[in-house]
Structure 1
Amino acid sequence: MAYNPLLSPRNLTWDDVDPRRHPFDAAEAAEAVRALAPARRTPLRPAGHAGNSDIIRWSHGPGWDWADEMTLAMVERWGRWTVGWRWAPDEGDYDGGPVGAWCCTRDSISATDPEETLDRIAEALCEWREWLEDTADRFDHYPLDRMPAEDRQDAWERATVRLVTQVVDRTGGGSGWYGHCRQVLVWFLTRWGVAEETAREQVEKAIDGRFLSWTAPGRTLVDDVAERLATSLEADS
């Protein structure tokens, strides 16, 4: 397995994923996935128990390489936003994501039917896209570019609480969930004109290492993160 940082969903920016910038027709996804070149050589996972050491090695080698080929083909077809199709909750191919249809190469590549694998990929791609569209809609509930200055801090706070809560719900608050949570908050800030570097710095300072794997944050902590973030943003504006 050769890790390619360009294929990691953790590195996606809002410009990369903003659904308004990247057309996609979910109704055509299953057919379009099957038309991608790697789909014609969809592998079968070796037979046997998924915990077998030979299967684990295969999933980290040929299985992973083929999944990367699928991702690269999707990027060429639809854009870089598609790399999130493998971002499963907990300890999947990528840790702490919002996509339930795909787990990992070991468990999601079928041992008996290539069509089953391709169905999972199309479902995962559509699930990821739906999450991005829902996220964009949530951002639009807080039109900060048209909001009076005296209302902005309250809006930052309310938006942060809502976004953190929704990421926790979607990821189950499992392993590494906070990585996507930080990312969504940065996306929100950049969506409304905060510079990328500033957004990252302010989100990191507000969270301050207090979000943990396998632990959903309590409301007091979420409120404090929201207040810190909103206060720092207003101070910089």
Structure 2
Amino acid sequence: MEIRNIAIIAHVDHGKTRLTDALLQQTGMAAAGVSMDSNDLEQERGITIYSKNASIFYKDTKINIVDTPGHADFGSEVERILRSIDSVLLVVDAQEGPMPQTKFVLKKSLESGLKPIVVINKIDKPAARPEWVQEAVLELFMDLGASEEQLNFVTVFTNAKQGIAKIKLTDESNNLAPLLETILREAPAASSPESAVKPLRFQPFNLAYDNFLGRLAIGRIYEGSIKPDMSVQVKKPTGETQ
């Protein structure tokens, strides 16, 4: 099974968590009303504070999604996540266009050598201006020194609230299939068969705790593979292993 590792990045309130929730629901991985923002403080403030990860399955491909914070106060969380994925969905509000945090997360993505997929969301807004936003995003790419390949980005128009995606604004659509197809086509595969036979190299990017499982380390396998009951060595910053 092929794997895609992507992060969803955006300015605060541009709809990335709602888009993630819609992807989970349409692929049968979550029930309606379930949100990635499950932390009490996140629910209270209405913003993502901690990065969340989830997996969906589409056409025999596993897509690992990391929903990142959109507020500038949690920028370090975004930087940490970008080192563990292969592509990003840059979500931009169809009315507001690029905002300060859009510039920050895009700059970090481009510096990491990632080629973003641009998602212009909230196209249902009465004052939406998606064509203008698309041009504004292109100008931001150029201002940030994007490479020729990065400038050749794909744009998908969405209404995450209704779970709709379109490649062209005139297209008819009633689901997010156009976005999922774009992810499969544009995001690079996570690993090759050659790397799977190498010694395990795994880097955690998120820690969690489960009342039944105990401590959890969620991360990226760069080389090798891991199986249940397998013994591994943990390398500390000092170089020691345990």
Q: TM-score, normalised by structure 1?
A: 0.24
Q: TM-score, normalised by structure 2?
A: 0.24
Specify which structure has the higher proportion of helix. 1
Specify which structure has the higher proportion of strand. 2
Q: Flag the structure with larger Rg.
A: 1
